[in-house]
Chains A and B, each alone.
Chain A
Amino acid sequence: MAISLRNLSVNYSLQQGTAHALRGVSLDIEKGQMHGLVGESGSGKSTVAFALMGLLANNANVTSGTATIEGKSFDLTKRNATADLRGRGMAMIFQDPMLSLNPVFTIGTQLCEVLRRRTPGSDRKTQGAMAEDALAKVRLSNPGRRMNQYPHELSGGMRQRVVIAMALLSEPALLIADEPTTALDVTVEAQIMREIIGLRDRIGCAVLLITHSLGLVTEYCDAISVLYAGEKLESGTVRQVQRQPGHPYTRMLFDCEVPIDRERHADASQNRFTVIAGDLPDPRRRPPGCIFNARCDVSFEDCAVVSPGDYPVRNDDSHSARCLRLATP
């Protein structure tokens, strides 16, 4: 087991009260696997990543949670618990590559900085060669020239490749990719996902892919966890979850995806799109019972009062969901 996250809870103190962004979230990511974390905006996906990296905002408070990375245990409630891992054990790819690159330094300088932390003592020439090699590995055209260019001279896809090259150089045990392709085109998206997979296979790290696109998860991930309003509702292998979603929310999410080959009404104005009615619950006041109760289409009386546990789906240990319908009486 490469990475495990246990019982992570994060609160944000706001002017209007305390928002519970995450409540007891646990994840297991196998080495060499890509784990998709999906959920709507506001579900706490990025908070998971930030809590792991120790990048939470000042008003955030981790109330519980431990991470085990490569056999070492980290108490996430402590400030900067994973500071030692940043740049060595963990790397992160952000949504906006422009924001993760410093605009006033060249690509080469920024890549070499990673190496100064990773391999202290090596001379600048080898570092430069390694950096250039990394750029070639992520198939950035003309790596030699790129080393001396500034981030603004590159396109979005090229910048994201540079960030992936950076991750490649730091050889992390865990790579967190937070919406890595949201800002990019579909054609570039496919290329970038291929590079991330190439990186994973090259250094055998675990990848946590944070996204709201189920398409990406089903196409590239091995396992999936579904987050809703700060709680993990379902997890399992992509195959299992896709075949038989254990939680109504997961099923509704899948139904919302628009497949490219969906049946099309001859009169285009008659085509309708699936939605999940309702809004996320107030993060400051969690309703009793199941968190998804208000928007669920198959809820029954108990759902409003009984908080569901994590039940196995179809007696499969690796696939579980928090839905009372799965509880065997």
Chain B
Amino acid sequence: MTDAISISNAELRFGETAALDGVSLTIPQGTCFGIVGESGSGKTTLMRAVLGLQKLDQGEICVLGNPLVPGRAALKQRASFIQPIFQDPAASLSPRSRISTMMNEVGTVLREPHAALFERLGVILNRLGLPQSVIEKYPHEISGGQARRVAIARALLMKPSILIADEPTAGLDVSVQGDLLNLLQDIRQSDNITLVIISHNLAIVRLIAENAVVMRSGKVVEGGEVGSLFKSPREAYTCELLAAWPSVTRAPALNR
């Protein structure tokens, strides 16, 4: 089977800084892949490059076996199988239009009749635990957690086979965070989606992903199967990341 995403030797410089410095990785289809690292390590730049929103200086990116082609038409075509969920959900929703207007755009791209589109949307909203009334609202009228789910609903409406989520749980409460992660897990199982999770939450990546890479200043410093990667990290930087993680080391409960 062709890999969902394969990147070979990607290089990109912003002036003096190397945002991507020889990144190579492959993401098999139907799996969940984690990309961890601190801010400025190039995680989001890599995502933008995979989406074709950022041109590389060097290297090649193949999505489902096909190399990225520049241009609007290709971008539009790619949208039907690879979809992003951006870090800041509020920023990915236009403040001036209702949620329904944004969802209509999906219909325009897919050339799907309005009624059929909104029927599918109803099902998706239901699954995400959003009230149907949400589509009549403006982005400022809904909460952060809801905005994020709206962004996911829009991505799913495109029926993608690859979903890239940039910090999907940043800024969410622990109680809501679990909900969202379980949802992503469900989607993965039912729709056989390839999921790419970009996060600095190591604990979550460890549980949700099969494979992961650790990035630092544009380089992949370590990668592999999550279990062994986190159990016995080889790189000093991975150890440092793991050690910095604040832990709720629960004292044994006395009578629970």
A74 to B179, CA, bound (A): 42
In the complex, which of the residues A187, A214, A276 has the most CB atoms of chain B within 10 Å of its own CB atom?
A187
CB neighbors of B among A272-329 (8 A): 272-276
Of the residues B182, B189, B226, B247, contact of A273 by C-beta under 8 Å: B182
- A41 contacts across to B, CB distance below 8 A: 143-144, 173
Q: Give the number of residue pairs across the A-B interface with Cβ within 8 Å.
A: 126
Interface positions, chain A 237-256, Cβ under 8 Å from B, are 239, 242-244, 251-254, 256
Complex CA gap A262/B246 in Å reads 14
Assess the A242–B251 pair: CB atoms within 8 A.
yes
Contacts of B244 in A (CB 8 A): 186-187, 189-190
Could you tell me if A188 and B185 are in contact, using CB atoms closer than 8 angstroms?
no
The reply to whether the CB of A213 lies closer than 8 angstroms to some CB of chain B is: yes
Spot the interface stretch: A100-108, A130-138, A200-208, A263-271.
A263-271
Contact B171 A182 (CB under 8 A): yes
Instruction: List B contacts of A266 (CB < 8 A).
Output: 227
Q: A156 near B: Cβ within 8 Å?
A: yes
Supposing A156-B39, A254-B248, A256-B174 touch, asked if A272 and B182 sit within 8 A by C-beta, the answer is yes
The interface bits of chain B over 29-53 (1 if a CB of A lies within 8 angstroms of the residue's CB, else 0) are 0011000001110000000000000
Stretch in contact with the other chain, from A75-83, A159-167, A215-223: A215-223
Q: Which of A212, A253, A271 contacts B185 (CB 8 A)?
A: A271
Task: Report the minimum CB–CB distance from A217 to chain B (whole Å).
Answer: 9
Contact A276 B203, CB 8 Å, known A186-B244, A268-B208: no
Cβ of B98 within 8 Å of any chain A Cβ, yes or no, is no
Contact A253 B253 (CB under 8 A): no
Interface presence of A259 (CB below 8 A): yes
A258 CB–B CB distance under 8 Å: yes
- In the complex, the answer to whether B188 meets A260 with C-beta atoms within 8 Å is no
Q: Which of B200, B210, B230, B246 contacts A268 (CB 8 A)?
A: B210
Residues of B175-208 whose CB lies within 8 A of A: 175-179, 181-182, 185, 188-189, 200-204, 206-208
Interface centre among B201, B248, B254, by most A CB within 10 Å?
B248
Expressed in whole angstroms, the minimum distance between the Cβ of A187 and any Cβ of chain B is 5
Asked if A40 lies at the interface with its beta carbon under 8 angstroms from chain B, I say: yes
User: How would residues 170 to 212 of chain A score, 1 for a CB under 8 Å from any chain B CB and 0 otherwise?
Assistant: 0000000000001011111110000000000000000000001
Quick check: is B125 within 8 A (CB to CB) of the other chain?
A: no
Q: What 1/0 flags go to B76-89 for Cβ under 8 Å of A? A: 00000000000000
Contact A258 B200 (CB under 8 A): no
B246 contacts A212, C-beta separation under 8 Å = no
Q: A239-B251, A268-B210 are in contact. Are A256 and B38 (CB under 8 A)?
A: no
Q: Does B117 contact A (CB under 8 A)?
A: no
Tell me if A153 is interfacial: C-beta within 8 Å of chain B: no
CB distance from B215 to the nearest CB of A (A): 12
Chain A residues, CB < 8 A from B96: none
State A275–B173 Cα separation when bound (angstroms).
10
The 3 closest A-B pairs by CB, nearest first: A215-B246, A273-B178, A275-B178
Q: What would 20 more interface pairs be, CB under 8 Å, given A186-B244, A260-B242, A268-B209?
A: A41-B144, A41-B173, A156-B39, A189-B246, A218-B249, A219-B247, A242-B250, A243-B254, A254-B248, A258-B201, A259-B249, A260-B202, A260-B206, A260-B230, A260-B247, A268-B31, A268-B32, A268-B207, A273-B181, A275-B176
Residues of A within 8 A of B (CB): 40-42, 155-156, 182, 184-190, 212-216, 218-220, 239, 242-244, 251-254, 256-262, 264, 266, 268-269, 271-276
List residues of B whose CB falls within 8 A of some A CB. 31-32, 38-40, 143-144, 171, 173-179, 181-182, 185, 188-189, 200-204, 206-210, 226-227, 230, 240-242, 244-251, 253-256
